[in-house]
Structure 1
């Protein structure tokens, strides 16, 4: 009997869902004619099911945002209650959930932070953060890294360093790229993390000098690089960037859209290094995708600047009541279910499993992990560290095939360049990690056949 998906006034059969999807929807980052989208029928915990009743481990938390997993009743009830109480009011008004969420965010942010500007998502957050930096400093250049993704709107795409920025070029004047502390693929053999950090920070200093320090408004960096390979800053790196920003009066912006909200085992990833940015951007884990919400957290000093200077930022749905209600409930869930602590503890389990894969498989060049945020970097040759696919290209669809093989076996995630992301919901248990990683282990046997 064919499965149906019911709504109050419609009942769609699975074949109709797929037909209408392809006929009327545009899917991101895809050539539409080649798509064969899965129909999702239900989800619970760390799992979701397709139209055939097949269960999948969600090992990327969808887009590394579903930290509390599927079906959390507390958040669902908060959304329902707010919709009945006050579904919408303009962002110029003060309401209970907006005030409550702002207070909750500032209480868990680094202690130099003062206020929050709420947005709809990560790209919105980054767009507004760079506008604020320009307004505060009176300068116009924005530094960001090559292996970065900050969003696909025009400003956020110019901020982005990786190939998804290309369609927005020629770009906006003033955006400058610098190199990441990508130690694994660096041609220099460093004796220590500290030595690597010194090298990268000195090169950044040199670039600031060449660009003119009096023109640089902000340095923007994912605290831990996300989709571009979970590149974890070596010891001393973030502290070095902070020092450069202090020296040259540059705003330090940490993009924590993906790395924030417990993903690295801390409320915000910068806490792992005790570094205090001037601005933190966030989204994803604040509501875990139950409804859209993002935000820009600014330091007390920047907040004070806008006491007497007009904040030229605005969004119709800024601080949307339903989003704020979901955010309040989500923060409560993190605390009540001890998900920050679970991220740390289960991160150790995940890290141990990843190290086993690295030791076993010829195709695994490097594994990087912090909390429940990790990547498996695949190579053709462990000695030369030749990537599994060339940068920005996958002519033989190798990574697509590997991700497809994982999905076929019930392990859902995505890849970027030569890296497979492993970032499960923060509610995951030890046995679930080991069961899922056994699937990855099996698929990596095929990847090994591509090495030389």
Structure 2
């Protein structure tokens, strides 16, 4: 359930001095890099073609390398450091929990676990009051799908093409972006459909109202052709993250909710990236007045300080397993260190007004600032987002909307985006770049001054992208 929001103003987080990386130590950095290159196998990478930065430290919205180069992090790690790096209250909570009870099996009631579940349930919408803990977002999706299939007795799951839901077997098949292709078994009971995205409409729509109506018609047609009695769940990112931060048009999620109710389908909202203040609400579903049957979370729940994810479960789904055992679990479900970090993170977000700050930042700094950049840079085709969750669509031709680089480009074909990213880093900004987009997803408690510093660096880098505009 959602707690009552207060209208009291919250203070702007004190920016303070930017952290000092201290004296450079290139020799130590070289040793870290050598060990990495010899032994670490990196995700999503051709191992001999990558050159990972050796990171010496991080604090707040910044991190730095061993050569003394400091970067303003517009990625929040992988969009998870919602309260920034090394927040002292969260660090202290992990240290205190380690001194009291470092770990314990998930079948027991443990204070940190119980308190984390209570605090999360207080903030989820509707009756999502039971919390199943996982180690991260991928496992949360895996278990949400398993719960939906067992609850309904049906095999199929629908998800959108422009989506990312994780990298394990079920989650990667649910994923809609090209990371799915190499591992797509074609036998996971997953059917993909087009979710609304007016800028690149699959429905030839010209207004948000048209896009919404036609996307819902397409979804219901897909359900009809697949057989409603075979479909266990529809899984959607409330606001798609890595796929492009496409804000759903008014009425779309409510329409999906109505379709699910009509056909007895479980509605799963993936809030792994959008949750815990990222959009200026505790959960993005609050923007749309929609309550799913299952809600997955991770990342911002404890700013990634210790791996944690989970599924918030409605009363109806939870009742399925009241006297019937749920056939699933994890050794580290609700790990005390991770849960202690979650408790501290949620308390920090409340005490410092971070959710409200993210909303205000989007309304007064990031949104206006990014739209102003779009007005001056021909390479920016569209700006979209909310809170501390934004994306710029970069194009070669604003009229035709041709992407700056081809879909899923690599190597030379990705040259313009690589040049843009290099320009960002040269100006002390670490960018989130995916396909032809750059996402602006800083810590939710970044100060206004730091956000404007990042926008200035982005401004300079967009001049490089402009050079590729036809």
For Structure 1 versus Structure 2, the TM-score category normalised by the shorter chain is: over 0.9
Tell me how far apart the structure 1 counterparts of residues 130 and 273 of structure 2 sit (CA, whole Å): 20
Identify the match of residue 327 of structure 2 among 312, 316, 324: 312
Asked if 1:106 corresponds to 2:124, the answer is no
Tell me how far apart the structure 2 counterparts of residues 176 and 111 of structure 1 sit (CA, whole Å): 28
Asked if 1:396 corresponds to 2:413, the answer is yes
Query: 2:401 maps to what in 1?
Result: 385
- Render the CA deviation track for 1:292-349: whole Å, top value 9, x for unaligned: 0000001011112210121111100001111111111110011001000000000111
Identify the match of residue 352 of structure 1 among 342, 359, 368: 368
Identify the match of residue 421 of structure 1 among 434, 439, 446: 439
**Preserved CA contact (<8 Å) 2:198 2:206:** no
**Preserved CA contact (<8 Å) 1:82 1:321:** yes
Tell me how far apart the structure 1 counterparts of residues 177 and 398 of structure 2 sit (CA, whole Å): 24
Query: 1:163 maps to what in 2?
Result: 178
TM-score, length of structure 2 as denominator length: 0.93
**Preserved CA contact (<8 Å) 1:261 1:285:** yes
Matching of residues 27-426 of structure 1 within 5 Å:
27-186=42-201, 190=205, 192-348=207-363, 349-394=365-410, 395-397=412-414, 398-426=416-444
- Answer with 248-257 or 437-446: which moved more: 437-446
Give the secondary-structure state (helix, strand or coil) at the position aligned to 2:413.
coil
RMSD: 1.5
Identify the match of residue 463 of structure 2 among 438, 445, 448: 445
Give the secondary-structure state (helix, strand or coil) at the position aligned to 1:113.
coil
Give the secondary-structure state (helix, strand or coil) at the position aligned to 1:81.
helix
- Answer with 33-42 or 17-26: which moved more: 33-42
Cα distance, 1:197 vs structure 2? 0.7
Tell me how far apart the structure 2 counterparts of residues 423 and 173 of structure 1 sit (CA, whole Å): 32
Cα distance, 1:39 vs structure 2? 1.4
**Preserved CA contact (<8 Å) 1:2 1:14:** no
- Render the CA deviation track for 1:349-405: whole Å, top value 9, x for unaligned: 100011011111111000101111000000111111111111122442222232122
Cα distance, 1:189 vs structure 2? 5.4
**Preserved CA contact (<8 Å) 1:155 1:172:** no
Tell me how far apart the structure 2 counterparts of residues 210 and 400 of structure 1 sit (CA, whole Å): 42
- Answer with 397-406 or 58-67: which moved more: 397-406
Which sections of structure 1, spanning at least 5 residues, go unmatched? 6-11
- Answer with 223-232 or 182-191: which moved more: 182-191
Tell me how far apart the structure 2 counterparts of residues 2 and 80 of structure 1 sit (CA, whole Å): 27
Tell me how far apart the structure 2 counterparts of residues 196 and 45 of structure 1 sit (CA, whole Å): 40
- Answer with 197-206 or 107-116: which moved more: 107-116
- Answer with 169-178 or 141-150: which moved more: 169-178
Tell me how far apart the structure 1 counterparts of residues 219 and 303 of structure 2 sit (CA, whole Å): 34
Cα distance, 1:94 vs structure 2? 0.7
Tell me how far apart the structure 1 counterparts of residues 370 and 350 of structure 2 sit (CA, whole Å): 28
Query: 2:6 maps to what in 1?
Result: none
Moved over 6 A (4+): none
Provide the aligned length of Structure 1 versus Structure 2.
446
Cα distance, 1:26 vs structure 2? 0.8
Asked if 1:436 corresponds to 2:454, the answer is yes
Give the secondary-structure state (helix, strand or coil) at the position aligned to 1:204.
helix
Tell me how far apart the structure 1 counterparts of residues 147 and 423 of structure 2 sit (CA, whole Å): 44
- Render the CA deviation track for 1:160-203: whole Å, top value 9, x for unaligned: 01000011123333100001211101165545322221110011
Identify the match of residue 18 of structure 1 among 33, 43, 61: 33
Cα distance, 1:4 vs structure 2? 5.1
TM-score, length of structure 1 as denominator length: 0.96
- Answer with 182-191 or 84-93: which moved more: 182-191
Give the secondary-structure state (helix, strand or coil) at the position aligned to 2:407.
coil
**Preserved CA contact (<8 Å) 1:38 1:51:** no
Structure 2 vs 1, CA of residues 193 and 2 (structure 1 numbering), >3 Å: closer, same or farther? Answer: closer
Give the secondary-structure state (helix, strand or coil) at the position aligned to 1:311.
coil
**Preserved CA contact (<8 Å) 1:58 1:412:** yes
